[in-house]
Structures are given as C-alpha cells and as structure tokens.
Amino acid sequence: MQAALTEAGYFEEGQLVAVLTAEPIGRPLDYRAPEGGCALGAYVEVPLGPRKVMGVVWGAGEGGYDLAKVRRVIRVLDVAPMREEMQQFLVRAGDYTLTPLPLMLRLATRAPGLADAPGSRKIYRLGTAAPSRMTEARGKVIEVLRAYGGVGFYLTELAKLAGVTPQVVKGMVASGAVDEIDQPRDLPFPPLDANRPGKELSEDQSNAAAQLRTALLTGAYGTTLLKGVTGSGKTEVYLEAVADCLRQGRQALVLLPEIALTAEFLDRVEARFGARPGEWHSGASMSERRRLWRMCGEGGVQLVVGARSALFLPFRDLGLIVIDEEHDTSYKQEEGVMYSARDMAVLRASFASAQVVLASATPSLETWVNAEAGKYQRINLAARFGASELPEMAAIDMRAEQLQPNNWISPSLASEVRARLAEGEQSMLFLNRRGYAPTTVCRACGHQIGCDHCDARMVEHRFLKRLVCHQCGESKPVPDVCPECKAEGKLAPIGPGVERLAEEVSERFPDAKMAVLSSDLFSSARALKEAIHNIAAGGADIIIGTQIVAKGHNFPLLTLVGVIDADLGLMGSDMRAAERTFQLMRQVAGRAGRAERPGRALLQTHQPEHPVIRAILSGNEEDFWRAEAEGRRAEGVPPFGKMAGLILSGPEPKPLFDLGETLARSAGPLRAINAEVYGPAPAPIARVRGKHRVRMLIKAPKGAALQPAIKAWLAPLKIPNSIRIAVDIDPQSFW
C-alpha cells in the first residue's frame, strides 16, 4: 500500500485515494490524487467509464492491483470538503436503514450545480430583442421563458424545459432575444442577530430555556424532549436555544413537518433575529438550494429551517437540531430511502456533538419511553402562555343523540355552535376526511366504486365533480349508471367528507360565514395561508377542516372545536392507531381558546368508554402513555422490540407470493437472532398504481442485530427484474 497520508487528512498528488460516487457500484473506487493533491472528504470529479461523475474522497485507496490502470481525479470541486463526522453519519445511517452508501451520498448531495466552477455559472433570461429569425424551436424557448416570468435558467435546464438543444439557446443570445448573465458566486446569508431581545419569558419558559442552555454549553451530544401543550410557548423557548447556539458560533437546524407552515414560521424567526434563515424544502428553486447547500458547508448560514431532508445538509458546525411536532408522521420518509428524520437527527447529533430538542404537545411513544428511561432529558411546559387556558373537553355520546338521515352534527353539538354564533365567536368542526363522501354505492346491486389501479374506494369530490382515488390520485367523472349492474341513477354517496359536512352546515346555519380548510381545495400553499390568515382575522364563523387545521395555526376567536367522528382513527389494525388518534384529538382540541376566551372541545363518539377517548378527556396524558407503553412491552413491539417490514412489489401477485414463501422458508439468519417472520400477506392496500404489493413483517428482540441478519437473509436471493424489494426499518404505517 503506497497511499499513506502525508499530513492528517491530505493526499499528495499521485497518491491513491478511494472515491465514493453516487453511482450504484456499492463501494468507493481507487483514483490518483490530482495535481495539487486533495483533502479527505473533498468533492471531486472523476472519470467513470466514458463519463465524468461527482464523488467524495472517502479515504486512502486500497491498492493491490495493476496500479498502471488507476485513473486520475479530474479536478477538485470548489465546495467545502465533507467532514468526517458526516461520513460517519452516512455510513451509520446507511447501515441502519439498509441503504447502499452511494444512495446515502445522493441524499447528501441534493443540490444542483455543485460541480460548476464559481463565476462560470451563466444563467439565461428573456432578452428584449426579437429573435433574428423565428423557428419553432426558438418559439419554444421564448414560450418557456415567458411562462416562468423573469426567472433565469442554466443552459441545460432551459434547453431541457423547452425540448431543444443548447445550441438553439446559444443562437438566440447573439441576437439579444435571450440574455446570458454571469451568475455571481453564491453569497452568504445575511447574519442573524442572536442578541436582539426576544419576548420576555414566563418563569416556566425561562427555566426551560436555561436547561437547554446548560445542555448546549456542554458542547456534547444530548437529546431533550420539550413537552408542552399547544400555545405553551415551545417555539419561544427553542428559539432561545437557537440564539444560544448562534452565540456559540455554531449552526442550528429547525425541522418542521409541513412546508405550508414555513412562511409563518420564517416571519417569526425574522422578527426574533432580524433576518431570515436559510430555507430547505421542495419548493425552493435550484439556485436557492445550491446556495444553501454550499453555505452550510462554508459556514455562510447560521440557521436553516427545513423539511426532513435538511438533515443531510453539510453543516460545518452543527450545534443544535430542533424537531418541531416531533410526533408528526411526515418525518418518516416512506419512499426511496426509508428513514425517520427524528431518529436520524439523534444519530447525526451524536456524531456532531450537537443537542437535539424534540418539541411536541403529544410526543411519540418512542420519545416518551426514552424520556422515561432517562435517555432523553425532559422539560415540561405545563401552562399555556398568558391568560389562555386549555379547553374543557367532553364526549358527546352519539348513541343517545337523535340525528336526521345524512346529518352528522348532533343536536348537542349544533346548540353549542349556535351559542358561539350568538356571541360572535368561532367554531371549528373537524373531520379528517377530504372530499364529499368516502364511498359511492349502487343502491340496486350494492357495488362500490373502486379505483382501477388500486385496492381503494374512490372518494367523491363534488367540488371537482369527480371521483378521486386517495392512494394514487387517479380520478374519473361520477358515472350515471352503475358500472356493475348498469342500473341508472342509483349511485349514492355514503358517509361524510368535509364537503358534505359543509353542505350540512350551510343548510343548518344559513346565516353563518363558513370556511372549508382541506388541502385539496387550495391551489397553492400561499392560497392556503391566505385563507388561514383571513379566518384568524374573523373571516369565518364556522371552520370546517381536515387534519391541516390541527397543526400550529392560531385562531384567537375560536372557542369551540367539535370533532365529528372521534372513532375514525380507533379502528385500524395498526399498533399506532390509538397513539395517532390521541395525538390528533389533543392537537385539534388545542386549537380552541388560545386567546383570552376559554375554549371547549366536544368529541362525538359511539364509544365514550374507550380507553383512548377516556384518556383524551381526562387530560391525564401520562396515564395514556403508560398504558400504551405497557401494551407494547407485553407484545414485544417497538420500542420494546425491533421491527422491520419487507415490501415486495411487482406487476403480478403470484411471483410476489412465491418469492415471499421462499423467503419465509429460508429465514435461517433471522431465526439465529430469535426473530420471527410473518407473511407473505397482501399489503393493507394490496395494489397501488397498478402494482401489486405483498408484505412481510419481521419482529426481533430489542438487543438483536436485526440489520445484519436481514442482509444475510436477502443476500443469496435471486430477484427477478420485475420485482422490487424494499426494507422498511421501524415501519410507521403498515402499508
């Protein structure tokens, strides 16, 4: 082996280096360091077959073969080298989720244009002159530039969008129809001022902030559960922790569950620190992403607010990760690399010597158990800030209510709504079902209209005048005749969705102003935000909403929340059903009475004695978690045992079951760690987008080395090209 490091972390020209690329090769390949040498972790361009690809100098080369054949690194890119801590994190996260390292690298380099040299980035915009000669191709370029307004594109981006060759665009530059502009080097973000005074904190809040400060000052890893009801000031408290982190000169990351919320949140950050943080989400433009990615590595951004994948940004010195609404299911990525951003944040922080703050009113059971066990610190913010109190909660026993056919608002709830209307206060009716009716049934033959591509019923959306599949998004017009028995005019909607509930509200409260908040009724996050703003200002008397209303919005005039069907979530076969229902109901109830007026939350249920409903009503949350934890411990399921899902998908069901049977029979490596294998069984939704899905479930004892066993189990398998296998460690939804 000739590749010894001359200086810690630096390779001299000609030395052998191992370069990891995002190509599916599985391991780093050897190259020679370029002229001038390269650092460990450097981003480089290397030849791979006939192509040039981007990679990272992962370590010293292996050697041990014909060294004459080793090619040379083409160049070192102008971005900060990947830190060792990040390398370790990617390796461990890949081992944990059973993801090949190249795919992990891809997650960590999701920014376009990294390979571009600074200053050489040219962008193309609409020019003022007309093209010297109009052709069809040129017309397409102009069309694209007009459609995107004043936005500039990279050459290849623009050519691709217009469906023309780059030469066409270049040709238009000459005549001034397209402007070619030198993109300046990415600039650092405006500095945040951590020393601007924040809000004056209550005693509880400042104790909480002090505890987080102490943790941050250790400069070591640690995780804290910041538990507090909605409105208790968790955000104020963790923004203090952000300020402390910035004062230490380290970077902070705040993860939020929903993109729609960031704008409101960004304003709050700006008010606190005098400038906006970096934003990382799917709505950000390519150049915004590239800038943020680079500035993370160079230390040119102090605070990033983002969606779960921001966890893979190349921070230079990450000191704090906040996960707001840590129980939110959107933190689990269920496509591609299946990972839980919450768990990966803890892993990343442990390598970066950073602190993690998990904020929630209703933490996940896993987090609650970790706090109970002392693995996480725990801070409680018991009271709501200021005068606002938690709403009083009660059940409405639907067995005792007299409802008209196709009515879903009980007389008891209706009279509460009427009382609010008389007082000029707002009511919210919560129903977690989009659309008009969840089922469309033929009254002649009983046929239910299903999706052609999925095992799901089509949901009628009257607003769109279509039936929509909530699995794959497929839609079709509501038919006049039953597709099964051909009877005419017999198709009837069954059950309520928010649109139907809205119909009932406008019939029963004709003078009330009504607003429906359902994600599918808004064309953009901005439109949704505007609606929310308008409602908060008093633009509606009755708000009808799906789960988008459960999160973080502040409606000061709202004093009544009515949950139309509290039983909805209790029925699933999912072990987390009770937990989810509990979280959702608490969050919704937390909407009421946020300002000076006390609130009330009423849950319509057919089973008021159900333990989950009782726990919600009693307000005794600790009892709920304790009971849930005991149940899971008895079953040996997470967090008291390990679980993994295996999803086989393909065009035909039979080969999937055959493969599943083979796997079940050859589960030696799993049995060796005392794991049990269940299945193959059809996945709960056995067909999505025309693909059949078969699922297997693996349960292992807590201490077992599950991932290596799964690897050993799948390794000898010959998988036909048409079949895809995905492993889901710690599955959250059992699809």
Dist CA 102 CA 111 (whole Å) = 15
Binding residues among 362-401 for ligand ADP as defined by CB under 6 A: 385
Contacts of 609 (CB under 8 A, 6+ apart): none
- How many residues lie near Zn ion (CB under 5 A)? 7
Q: How far apart are the first and last CA of the chain?
A: 49
Confirm or reject binding of residue 349 to Zn ion (CB under 5 A).
Answer: no
Dist CA 179 CA 172 (whole Å) = 8
- How many residues lie near ligand ADP (CB under 6 A)? 15
Confirm or reject binding of residue 228 to ligand ADP (CB under 6 A).
Answer: yes
471 binds, among Zn ion, ligand ADP, none (CB under 5 to 8 A by kind): Zn ion
Tell the smallest beta-carbon distance from residue 687 to Zn ion (Å). 8
Confirm or reject binding of residue 224 to ligand ADP (CB under 6 A).
Answer: no
Binding residues among 435-494 for Zn ion as defined by CB under 5 A: 451, 453-454, 469, 471-472, 474
Determine what percent of the chain falls in helix, strand and coil, rounding each to the nearest 5. Answer: 35, 25, 40
Dist CA 82 CA 413 (whole Å) = 58
* The amino acid at 341: A
Can you spell out the DSSP letters for 261-283?
GHHHHHHHHHHHHSS--EEESTT
Piece in contact with ligand ADP (CB under 6 A), picked from 197-205, 541-549, 641-649, 692-700:
197-205
**Token representation of residue 365:** 């059971």
Tell the smallest beta-carbon distance from residue 330 to Zn ion (Å). 21
One of 28, 34, 231, 435 touching ligand ADP (CB under 6 A): 231
Nearer to ligand ADP, 206 or 439 (CB): 206
429: Cα within 13 Å, side-chain hemisphere: 32
CB atoms within 10 A of CB 245: 27
Nearest CA to 307 out of 271, 329, 331 is that of: 331
**Token representation of residue 494:** 């069954």
319 binds, among Zn ion, ligand ADP, none (CB under 5 to 8 A by kind): none
Nearer to Zn ion, 138 or 457 (CB): 457
The contact pattern for ligand ADP, residues 526-565, with x = CB under 6 A and - = no contact, is: ----------------------------x-----------
469 binds, among Zn ion, ligand ADP, none (CB under 5 to 8 A by kind): Zn ion
Dist CA 287 CA 277 (whole Å) = 16
465 binds, among Zn ion, ligand ADP, none (CB under 5 to 8 A by kind): none
Nearest CA to 324 out of 339, 310, 337 is that of: 310
Dist CA 320 CA 352 (whole Å) = 9
Report the residue count for the chain.
735
697 binds, among Zn ion, ligand ADP, none (CB under 5 to 8 A by kind): none
Tell the smallest beta-carbon distance from residue 356 to ligand ADP (Å). 17
Nearer to ligand ADP, 61 or 552 (CB): 552
Confirm or reject binding of residue 230 to ligand ADP (CB under 6 A).
Answer: yes
One of 234, 290, 342, 642 touching ligand ADP (CB under 6 A): 234
Phi, psi of 439 (to 5 degrees): -140, 145
Tell the smallest beta-carbon distance from residue 260 to ligand ADP (Å). 16
517 binds, among ligand ADP, Zn ion, none (CB under 5 to 8 A by kind): none
Can you spell out the DSSP letters for 402-424?
---TT--S-HHHHHHHHHHHHHT
Footprint of Zn ion on this chain (CB under 5 A)? 451, 453-454, 469, 471-472, 474
Footprint of ligand ADP on this chain (CB under 6 A)? 199-202, 205, 228, 230-236, 385, 554
